[in-house]
């Protein structure tokens, strides 16, 4: 390969974690013409696979109609997509369009601060909210340390497993002074960083603090939105939650067009009735993103979809349980089409090994994360898990500590 004229993200540039990609179709992509099962839905966005006809069809027809529209343009699709999205969320309120997950978070932070007149945000250490400076200021992993951001306005709360009833979080809020906090910014279920599903008791405590002290609840559903947890949104597993903001992106268009959206309540909307909304972007409500989103919303209207998702997710879990019987797994957390597996007695996985065997997934140290598309059938799960079992057997043979 020629020397790259571009960067590879989140890597040193001398030996970056990269792989060859020559195209994609349906459930696969191709690496040097080798068929690779996309067990991570790319980065969770291609949950409908790589060539969904409905999404492609809407985008193609939009290209022939118009490709560009002013952010200020009132278009029919802005209205149709917003109404459809609110229905899928099951919430009353308004939609602000963006083009990425980080921008959805940025705008949530900006609005939450303006609406409350408060500066501080409560966030978890084990979290990722995006690579822009505002989103990094609430991100808790190593990436937040790398750049100058508004991190001094973020107060960290304990992880849900350290504080299942939320008492420690309450103590922090009350000690610091609840009136300084604009919002909690939290992934409803964390993605690659560990698939942490907080218990109901923790969410009850967070919601109670929001209700009691007027702290806004920003839910980051960038990774988990649009079916990843086998429900439209992860917060649908927690009916007690009343989010003030829901940040969305990735699968909102199946990943076919960079796009995102932020849900806000009507209360937030009313704040901007007389005050100028000092938030916006050139590609606000981009026509191609809206076209793709309309198709995604239609997919969720298919009769029987929820039953199908539940049954596929149950089959996925069954395959994981079989894997657990076969190998020593130290930690396993699964929800819907998302699983985190930490293996005992193994040194380190390498992405390329999986690619060589026809699987794409997240692999780091002795951990793998799978986030398959919702379009796999039982046979597809069988094929992939047979390949995975073979790779794991090889690893145990060669690497066992
Ligand atoms: C939970 C979460 N929030 C925000 C983001 C940022 O999204 P984007 O990369 O589209 O800016 C990501 C990306 O991986 C994410 O997983």
- Alpha carbon distance 43, 371 (integer Å): 8
Tell me, in angstroms, the distance from the centre of ligand 1 to residue 236's CA. Answer: 20
Q: Which CATH architecture has domain 23-52+307-399?
A: Alpha-Beta Complex (3.90)
Tell me, in angstroms, the distance from the centre of ligand 1 to residue 257's CA. Answer: 15
Which pLDDT score, from 0 to 100, does residue 1 have?
Answer: 72
The candidate with the shortest Cα–Cα distance to 206, out of 234, 176, 248, 242, is 242
* Under 8 Å between Cβ of 158 and 168: yes
Which pLDDT score, from 0 to 100, does residue 401 have?
Answer: 61
The pairing of strands 94-98 and 28-31 is: unpaired
Provide CB contacts within 8 A for 154, sequence distance 6+.
Answer: 120, 121, 122, 123, 137, 138
Helix or strand or coil: residue 131? coil
- Alpha carbon distance 281, 102 (integer Å): 13
Which pLDDT score, from 0 to 100, does residue 398 have?
Answer: 79
220 lines ligand 1 (CB under 6 A): yes
255 lines ligand 1 (CB under 6 A): no
Domain ranges of the chain: 23-52+307-399, 53-300
221 lines ligand 1 (CB under 6 A): no
Which pLDDT score, from 0 to 100, does residue 396 have?
Answer: 80
Tell me, in angstroms, the distance from the centre of ligand 1 to residue 107's CA. Answer: 14
106 lines ligand 1 (CB under 6 A): no
Which pLDDT score, from 0 to 100, does residue 400 have?
Answer: 64
Provide CB contacts within 8 A for 1, sequence distance 6+.
Answer: 20
Mutation test of ligand 1: which of 143, 249, 253, 262 has the most ligand atoms closer than 8 Å to its C-beta?
249
Mutation test of ligand 1: which of 131, 250, 252, 261 has the most ligand atoms closer than 8 Å to its C-beta?
250
- Alpha carbon distance 249, 253 (integer Å): 8
Q: What is the CATH number of domain 53-300?
A: 3.40.640.10
140 lines ligand 1 (CB under 6 A): no
Tell me, in angstroms, the distance from the centre of ligand 1 to residue 9's CA. Answer: 13
Tell me, in angstroms, the distance from the centre of ligand 1 to residue 99's CA. Answer: 11
Tell me, in angstroms, the distance from the centre of ligand 1 to residue 40's CA. Answer: 14
120 lines ligand 1 (CB under 6 A): no
The pairing of strands 34-38 and 359-360 is: parallel
Tell me, in angstroms, the distance from the centre of ligand 1 to residue 223's CA. Answer: 6
Structure pTM?
0.97
The residue contributing the CA closest to ligand 1 atom 16 is: 223
Instruction: Kindly state the tokens that stand for 48.
Output: 């409908």
Q: Please, what are the averages of pLDDT over each run of 10 residues along the chain (401 residues)?
A: 92 92 95 95 98 98 98 98 98 98 98 98 97 97 90 97 98 98 98 95 98 98 98 98 98 98 98 97 98 98 98 98 95 98 88 94 95 98 97 82 61
225 lines ligand 1 (CB under 6 A): no
The candidate with the shortest Cα–Cα distance to 351, out of 28, 13, 12, 18, is 18
The residue contributing the CA closest to ligand 1 atom 5 is: 130
228 lines ligand 1 (CB under 6 A): no
129 lines ligand 1 (CB under 6 A): yes
Q: Write out pLDDT tens, residues 190-226.
A: 999 899 999 999 999 999 999 999 999 999 999 999 9
């Amino acid at each position: 390969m020629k020397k790259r004229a571009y960067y590879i993200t989140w890597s040193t540039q001398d030996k970056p974690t990269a792989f060859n990609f020559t195209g994609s179709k349906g459930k696969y992509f191709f690496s040097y013409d080798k068929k690779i099962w996309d067990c991570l839905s790319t980065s969770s966005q291609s949950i409908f696979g790589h060539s969904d006809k409905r999404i492609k069809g809407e985008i193609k027809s939009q290209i022939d109609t118009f490709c560009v529209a002013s952010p200020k343009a009132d278009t029919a699709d802005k209205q149709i997509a917003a109404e459809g999205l609110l229905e899928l969320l099951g919430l009353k309120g308004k939609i602000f369009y963006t083009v990425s997950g980080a921008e959805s978070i940025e705008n949530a932070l900006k609005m939450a601060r303006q609406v409350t007149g408060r500066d501080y945000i409560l966030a978890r250490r084990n979290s990722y909210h995006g690579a822009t400076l505002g989103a990094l200021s609430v991100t808790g992993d190593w990436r937040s340390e790398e750049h100058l951001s508004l991190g001094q306005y973020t107060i960290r709360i304990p992880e849900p497993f350290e504080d299942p009833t939320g008492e420690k979080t309450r103590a922090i809020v009350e000690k610091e002074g609840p009136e300084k906090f604009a919002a909690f910014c939290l992934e409803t279920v964390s993605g690659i960083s560990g698939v942490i599903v907080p218990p109901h008791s923790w969410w009850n405590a967070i919601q109670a603090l929001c209700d009691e002290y007027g702290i806004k609840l920003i839910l980051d559903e960038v990774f988990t939105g649009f079916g990843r947890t086998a429900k439209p949104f992860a917060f649908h597993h927690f009916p007690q939650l009343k989010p003030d903001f829901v940040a969305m992106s990735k699968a909102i268009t199946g990943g076919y067009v960079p796009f995102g959206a932020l849900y806000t309540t009507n209360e937030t909307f009313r704040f901007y009735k007389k005050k100028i909304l000092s938030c916006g972007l050139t590609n606000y409500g981009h026509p191609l993103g809206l076209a793709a989103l309309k198709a995604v919303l239609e997919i969720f209207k298919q009769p029987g979809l929820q039953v199908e998702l539940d049954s596929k997710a149950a089959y996925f879990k069954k395959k994981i349980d079989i894997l657990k019987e076969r190998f020593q797994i130290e930690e396993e957390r699964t929800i819907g089409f998302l699983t985190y597996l930490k293996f005992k007695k193994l040194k380190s996985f390498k992405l390329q090994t999986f690619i060589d065997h026809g699987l794409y997934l997240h692999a780091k140290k002795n951990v793998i994360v799978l986030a398959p598309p919702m379009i796999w059938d039982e046979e597809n799960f069988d094929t992939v898990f047979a390949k995975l079992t073979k790779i794991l057997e090889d690893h145990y043979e060669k690497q066992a500590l």
